Amino acid sequence: MKTKQSIVLTYVLLLLLITNNWAKADEGMWLPMLIGKNYEQMKKQGFKLSPEDLYSANKVSIKDAIVSFGGFCTGEIVSKNGLIFTNHHCGYDAAASQSTPQDNVLDNGFYAKSYAEEKPIPGLFVRFLIRMEDVTPQIMTAIKGLSDQERTAKISEISKKISAEATQGTTQEAEVKDIYKANQYILFIYERFNDVRLVGVPPQSIGKFGGDTDNWEWPRHTGDFSIFRVYADANNKPASYSINNKPYTPKKFLPISIKGVKNDDFTIVYGFPGRTDRFLTSYGVQLATEKVNPTIVKLRDIRLKAWKEEMNKSVDTRLKLSSQYANIANYWKYYIGQTTQLKHLDVYTEKQRKEAEFNSWASNKPEYADLMNQYAELYKNYEPYAIHAVYAGGNGLGALVWARNVNTLATALDAQSTKKDDQTYLTGLNEDIKKKLASYENTYNEHADKKIFIQLLSSFYSDVPKSQHPAFISKLIEENPADSPQASFEKYANDLWNKSVLIRPSNVHEFWAHPNKAILESDPAYLFAKNLVPSTYIQTNFGTVISDFETRKAKLDNLYLQSLLDKNKNELSYPDANSTMRITYGKVQSYSPKDAVTYQASTTIDGMMEKYQPKNAEFDLPKSLIDAYNKRNFGPYTENGTLPVAFISNNDITGGNSGSPVINANGELIGLAFDGNWEAMSGDIAFDKKYKRTISVDTRFVLWCIDVLGGAKNIINELDVRM
């Protein structure tokens, strides 16, 4: 019998030596350092560069023009002066933070005409990948023979050691990430830049055109782009914000093609995809579709409806709540779509078929033979708690921002008393609290927040089995008698808001100006919030149910991937996405989502104008765009008498790829990836070759918005635009 270590090391060698047979050309998020194995296939599809042009640890390559943008999106360097293109929705919070009713950057758009006009965005950063390295042998040697608990601690220890040694004497940072469910480990070394400034953003009527209605849909007509610049010190090194910093000089920037795209053109998407779970079992699919996803959708819907009612009342409120609304709405629709398509494509049945095939193969292999039965038992034991677990997390009761802030104040007050002689610490603590309170105050809306609080408690009461109800929920009902549980929660909420000094921002500021532990500990909001401290809540109401499930599932997943690597050892697969740099390649490609319907591969401004609805929050357009359209003022960006807006390709992407460059066969930027399509929203769990599409904004539309609508010739002049 092969040992786990020998299987893994054999597989690592296979990664380097064999040709892809397992995954199809348009499927897969591939590690750049191994992209050479896909080269022949890429050449057949039209790729004209070399593997080293895409990734090299020692020479300049396209990977040096790709950045992790804020840790949640991707961006690309497009000029020798550190200019970055990314999506509008990736820059949404930055634009919103710079907006007031008097200077409404979000609604009106903004293009800096000089460096001096660029807007610093505190907290925003970008990271460049320097190199990656397989460190599986070091990790596996260190954990050989250890128990599960010892392994976890050892992996953390050895990963920190490897990272520290790799970056010693540099300004770089590093992390070790596991892939293939901890069957392989890769070291990633980065350079982080913390001075990033907003350079340009279109009006949100362009950048978010179509709103929630068009989100995750094709055809699409959204100008989903924004522009930033990364700054460095006089030596071109990372530095905190300073007026003396200079635009960063990159190793590499992408030229921009306005030659246009057509069906079957070769495409690469390069970026930092977040998370996929392509090896999830049928048991996990069933739990997601029947329990978890519908609950997440319900809880997000509660917040969205309450916020929307208030946002419609004033511009000021809309600006304050718009960023968090957009973030929640995006994944609200995502979970609706994922559930719909998992069912429509019958992914559960397909998973079962593959698992039956696996069981047949594993029947004479003792180490794997009982694996699916163990999964079945694991999910059977966890399923009764799945809905409660969603409520306990960030989508449910954990979404109560004021409750989190109350617990933050309590922790800070304790720290003040234990470190009362450490003035440096206390100064930093107070600054941190001030920032948190300012953020809280900016998005606080009493009508919405109270409504959300009442509805979350009411939904919890009806959805979570009574046998799992925490004692404090029952106590609230008893102490606030009314005709219904919801009426009891309404009565309690009104009392809570009126008596607490820790909910209304003005009261919180007053309390923190003269903090008093006795007042804190008797405050009704504090007494409620104490129940929601994550560790306390989980331990009190779940015991070890959740941790046992997660630990056991991780172990089974590790074994399952080990078995698949063994089973398919003459073939090649890609690992799940985990927010590390990946390359996916494919083609611009139309598709037919249903009988008698065919979607073409690109859209134009004509379609945008067909959707135009004056004064509609989702489909309004700025006068400048309408005037330019009526005059057919499309500049050099036109094609066949109109203006291209967006296109689709069959590249394999997920969240985190937002803002990723779409690159043609010559290494030129042709679009910015910003969305997936409705028919393939099951893609994070199961790739569908027939339907999976990436939606991208065409660079010609991006440049037209900057040039013709924005009049920002200074930005256009920075770019290497190729006709």
Model pLDDT, residue 413: 83
The rounded mean pLDDT for the chain is 92
- Cα-atom radius of gyration of the chain, to the nearest Å? 27
- The 10s digit of each residue's pLDDT in 560-584 is 999 999 888 777 789 999 999 999 9
CB–CB of 118/199 below 8 Å?
yes
Distance, CA of 477 to CA of 486 (rounded, Å): 9
pLDDT for position 22 = 40
Answer whether residue 420 shows pLDDT above 80.
no
Lowest mean pLDDT among 90-99, 194-203, 229-238: 90-99
3-state secondary structure 56-117: CCCCCCHHHHEEEECCCEEEEECCCCCEEEECCCCCHHHHHHCCCCCCCHHHHCEECCCHHH
Say whether pLDDT at 723 is over 90: no
Whether the pLDDT of residue 169 is over 80: the answer is: yes
Residues with Cβ within 8 Å of residue 539, at least 6 apart in sequence: none
For residue 529, pLDDT beyond 50: yes
Neighbouring-strand partners of residue 604: 644
Residue 197: pLDDT band with limits 50, 70, 90: very high
pLDDT in tens, 465-517: 999 999 999 999 999 999 999 999 999 999 999 999 999 999 999 998 888 88
Please state the rounded mean pLDDT for residues 22-37: 79
Average pLDDT over residues 30-54: 94
Closest CA to 328 of 135, 93, 672: 93
- Type of residue found at 275: R
At 557, the pLDDT band (50, 70, 90 cuts) reads very high
Q: Rounded to whole angstroms, how far apart are CA atoms 51 and 57?
A: 12
Checking if the pLDDT of 15 tops 50, the result is: no
Single-letter amino acid, residue 47: F
Is pLDDT of 19 > 50?
Answer: no
Band (543; pLDDT cuts 50, 70, 90): very high
Please check the confidence at residue 718 and state whether its pLDDT lies above 60. Answer: yes
Q: How far apart are CA 86 and CA 101, in angstroms?
A: 25
Chain centroid, CA 147 distance in Å: 34
Tokens of 83: 């200019």
Burial of 407 (0-12, 13-18, 19+ CB in 10 A): middle
> Nearest to residue 661, comparing CAs of 81, 249, 74?
74
* Spatial separation of the C-alpha atoms in residues 585 and 649, rounded to whole Å: 9
Tens-digit pLDDT profile for residues 96-144? 999 888 999 999 999 999 999 999 999 999 999 999 999 999 999 999 9
CB 399 within 8 A of CB 33: no
State residue 669 phi and psi, 5-degree precision. Answer: -75, 125
Can the peptide bond before residue 219 be classed as cis, meaning omega within 30 degrees of 0?
yes
Q: Does residue 6 register a pLDDT over 90?
A: no
| Both structure tokens of 322 | 């718009």
**Per-residue burial over 655-689, b = 16 or more CB atoms within 10 Å of its CB, e = otherwise:** bbbbbbbbbbbbbbbbbbbbbbbbbbbbbbbbbbe
**Cβ–Cβ under 8 Å, residues 243 and 198:** no
User: How many Å separate Cα 54 from the centre of its chain?
Assistant: 24
8 Å CB contact between 456 and 424: no
- Catalytic positions: 89, 224, 658
pLDDT of residue 127: 98
pLDDT of residue 515: 86
| 3-state secondary structure (DSSP) of residue 303 | helix
Give helix 347-362 / helix 371-382 axis angle, nearest 10°.
140
pLDDT in tens, 53-111: 999 999 999 999 999 999 999 999 999 999 999 999 999 999 999 988 899 999 999 99
What pLDDT band is residue 18 in, cutting at 50, 70 and 90? very low
Residue 106 token pair: 């979000």
Name the 3-class secondary structure at 666.
coil
**The pLDDT of residue 16:** 38
Under 8 Å CB-to-CB from 309, ≥6 apart: which residues?
A: 447, 448
Closest by CA position to 233, among listed 75, 82, 128 = 82
pLDDT in tens, 289-301: 999 999 999 999 9
Helix and strand counts by DSSP (H, E) for the chain? 29, 22
**Each residue's pLDDT tens digit, 656-709:** 999 999 999 999 999 999 999 999 999 999 999 999 999 999 999 999 999 999
Higher pLDDT, 399 or 48: 48
* Helix, strand, coil share (%) of the chain residues, nearest 5: 50, 15, 35
pLDDT at 10 > cutoff 60:
no
For residue 226, count CB atoms less than 10 angstroms from its CB and return exposed for 0-12, middle for 13-18, buried for 19 or more. buried
**Distance of alpha carbon 325 from alpha carbon 314, whole angstroms:** 15
Mean pLDDT, residues 616-628 taken together:
97
Average the pLDDT over each of 223-232, 348-357, 531-540 and give the range with the smallest value: 531-540
Between 379 and 424, residue with greater pLDDT: 379
The answer to whether residue 14 scores a pLDDT higher than 50 is no
Q: Where does the pLDDT of residue 8 fall: very low under 50, low under 70, confident under 90, or very high at 90 and above?
A: very low
What is the torsional sign of CA 702, 708, 712, 716? positive
Express as a percent the part of the chain with pLDDT over 70: 96
Query: What are the φ and ψ backbone dihedral angles of 555, each rounded to 5 degrees?
Result: -70, -40
Which pLDDT score is estimated for 21? Answer: 41
Quickly list DSSP for 317-345. HHHHHHHHHHHHHHHHHHHHHHHHHHHHT
Can you tell me the mean pLDDT for 448-457? 95
CA nearest neighbour of 53 among 295, 298, 268: 268
Residue 50 confidence (pLDDT): 95
Give the model's confidence band at 401: pLDDT under 50 very low, under 70 low, under 90 confident, else very high: confident
